[in-house]
Structure 1
Amino acid sequence: MTATASSRHTAPRYKAPADRDLVPRAMVRAMLALVLTVLALVSYYVYTDRPLVATPPEAEVILERTVFLTGEMSGAATVLDAQGTLIGRLSPETGGFIAGVGRVLDRERTKHGVSLTGPVTIIGRADGRVSIHDPSTGWGADLMGFGQDNARAFVRLLAQ
């Protein structure tokens, strides 16, 4: 076996000859066309102020409560009502999601440069959906997207 023959057999398999494309040009062009089409569609809808159609309909508000949330990195959470009365002090095992929402609120408030201690509104709707809204930043979230157990944690706060 010669030196060139042995080096040809030991060359890494992932290296293709220079004259051969690893990804076919037709595939690259198809991916580029897809990206440009999606970009054009999104741009059209944004610039023409088209209404959002993939959002759930707004049902009637049947229950609303203003609370103060404090979440810790451990997962523990403290919830106070609008008057400052303790509603619940939740352990890391039971308050993890509520503490997580509290940390999201802190991040949003820091981004907007507002006080970290403001109230939030928990909203229960006629269709069974529960959401949270922060009036100081305009941030809000439909809690049903996080699963029944997590939404139920906020339903319990509404019921107390």
Structure 2
Amino acid sequence: MSQAHNHDPTIPRGALIGAAVLLTFTMVLTGAVSWGWIPQSANPELSRAAEQVAPAEKRNLNFADREDGAVIISDAATQDIVKVIAYGEGGFVRATMRRMAKTRAASGIGSEQPFTLIRWENGALSLHDPATGKNAEIHGFGADHSTTFAEMLKEPSA
């Protein structure tokens, strides 16, 4: 003989209310930081300014797409090719540049003005867009990504 079991798949009301409260709190807190009502706790630009960390090394770079899907990175002053990233490679560099290019496009700015790659005295790397004032902090994404960008600071050996 079989016994009747209650297999009610509903979630307890208290759990739903708790999840809704947590989600609402998270969204309000995120919005407050985004809109500047609450200061960001870890802002590299502000930290560098407060600690008076100066640039140790800079290089102005242009990024261009080639017809075969490769990205050509060149020195803005000499036009020398610094690096070629083949199609399907360099996902982090491509994503970083895509995000920065999108910001330029939204502001109606073209790709003529170079980006500035900076190594700071504390070893951190950032990519600055003088056209928009935006920065991409490279060091926060791991050693491999930092190494990829750090190689772009080196002058080619003769």
**TM-score of the superposition, structure 1-length normalised?**
0.71
Q: Does 1:78 align with 2:102?
A: no
In 2: Cα distance, 1:94 partner to 1:128 partner: 29
The answer to whether the Cα contact below 8 Å between 2:68 and 2:87 also exists between their aligned partners in 1 is no
Q: CA deviation at 1:83?
A: 2.3
- 1:28 matched to which residue of 2? 16
Residues 77 and 95 in structure 1, CA contact (< 8 A), matched pair in contact too: no
Match runs of 1:31-110 below 5 Å: 31-42=19-30, 49-56=37-44, 57-58=47-48, 59-72=53-66, 76-92=70-86, 96=90, 97-110=92-105
Does 2:128 match 1:133? yes
Distance 2:56 2:15 in 1: 53
Uncovered stretches (5+) of structure 2, i.e. residues with no partner:
1-5
Select 2:113's aligned residue among 118, 122, 125: 118
CA distance in 2, matches of 1:72, 1:156: 21
Larger radius of gyration: 1
Kept in 2: contact 1:62–1:126 (CA 8 A): yes
- How far off its partner does 1:23 sit? 0.9
Distance 1:147 1:71, change over 3 A: farther
Measured in 2, the distance between the counterparts of 1:26 and 1:38 equals 18
2: CA distance, partners of 1:103 / 1:55 = 22
Number of residue pairs aligned between Structure 1 and Structure 2: 143
**1:87: Cα distance to partner?**
3.2
Q: Does the aligned pair in 2 maintain the 1:71–1:101 contact within 8 Å? A: no
Distance 1:92 1:117 in 2: 22
Describe the shift of the 1:89–1:53 C-alpha distance in structure 2 as closer, same or farther (beyond 3 A).
closer
For the residues of structure 2 that align with 1:107 and 1:35, how far apart are their CA atoms? 29
Which digits, 9 at most, give the CA deviation of each residue in 1:102-149, with x for residues without a partner?
333322221221112321010101111101011112221111123212
Structure 1: runs of 5+ lacking an equivalent: 1-15
CA distance in 2, matches of 1:47, 1:94: 36
Structure 1 residue 40: Cα displacement: 4.3
The percent identity for this pair of structures is 24
Aligned counterparts of 1:101 and 1:72: Cα–Cα separation in 2? 17
Of the structure 1 ranges 32-41 and 20-29, higher mean CA displacement relative to structure 2 is found in: 32-41
